Amino acid sequence: MSLQNFEIISGDSESKVILHVPHSATFIPDYVRNSILLTDEELKAELDEMTDTLTKEIALKAAEISGKKPWLFINRFSRLVIDPERFPDEREAMNAVGMGAVYQKTSIGTQLRKPDPVAEKQLLDAYFHPYSKSLSDLVAQRFAALGEVTMVDVHSYRVNQHPNAINHGQLRPPICIGADAFHTPEWLIEAAKSAFSIVGENYINQPYSGTYVPLSVYEKEAKITSVMMETRADTFLTEELAPHDGFETVVKALANLVDLIQLR
């Protein structure tokens, strides 16, 4: 019933960078689609709104042109199946709007699926927990090999805020740099600001805050560092969600960040 919902692409043996791409895919298994209440037209609109379009392609191209190829961990399924970046419990702030690890609501606040604790647990067991464990294992392997690991969490966001959100009224700059108080040291923030400056103005933790770190090491190992790249979609996509000339600029920015991390 369950397919593997992630792929790992090996990098250079001496690379301490892992690019994490959690929200780029649109694939939804048929049995999960059957539990979603939206029509096909409504689902397409929701995927257009919620998918971090072409962030996988950005990460793959950036990896190709980096001095040392980073490792990649890529979600193969839509975030409407499970969102691997949410806490799977009461710690998750987005539970308040029905968009925790298994979304109950859409980006506009309508019902996505019927509340069903059994089905939700099945999705978490089939996809969320194996994803988390495999990413945690990859981080542990790279840490054992090199003594330090830096994750770059690769995202994009739409120009306009979703109606069903918890961070209304914040700035929406070309680049948002997500930082964690424990896992994002100042040198990493400065590296991100430098690398992303070619895309445009950037802000820290606005409109999105934090960055992904495996729960197994969260706030436990300071040499496992992480930073989030949130690129506003119009910097590299047209309104029809096709790449424009800015796509190559965003790729170069991410590759620059990878190289700055490797050189440190």
Give the pLDDT confidence of 134-170 residue by residue, as tens digits.
999 999 999 999 999 999 999 999 998 888 777 777 8
Indicate the pLDDT class of residue 121, thresholds 50, 70 and 90. very high
Provide mean pLDDT across the span 239-245.
96
Tell how far CA 127 is from the center of its chain.
16
Query: Is a pLDDT exceeding 70 seen at residue 22?
Result: yes
What is the rounded distance in angstroms from the CA atom of residue 178 to the CA atom of residue 109? 25
Q: Is the pLDDT score of 84 beyond 70?
A: yes
Burial of 166 per CB tally in 10 Å (0-12, 13-18, 19+): exposed
What pTM was estimated for this model as a whole?
0.95
Provide mean pLDDT across the span 24-35: 97
* Cβ–Cβ under 8 Å, residues 211 and 227: yes
- pLDDT tens string 70-82: 999 999 999 999 9
> Whole-angstrom Cα distance, residue 8 to residue 27?
17
Residue 98 pLDDT class (50, 70, 90 cuts): confident
Query: What pLDDT sits at residue 2?
Result: 61
In this prediction, residue 170 carries a pLDDT of 81
6-85+128-263: CATH, from 3.20.20.70, 3.40.50.620, 3.40.630.40, 3.40.50.300: 3.40.630.40
Q: Are 167 and 230 in contact (CB under 8 A)?
A: no
pLDDT digits (tens, 9 = 90+) for 202-220: 999 999 999 999 989 999 9
pLDDT value at 95 more than 80: no
Residue 259 has what pLDDT? 98
Confidence of residue 264 (pLDDT cuts 50, 70, 90): confident
Domain boundaries, the chain: 6-85+128-263
What pLDDT does residue 64 have? 98
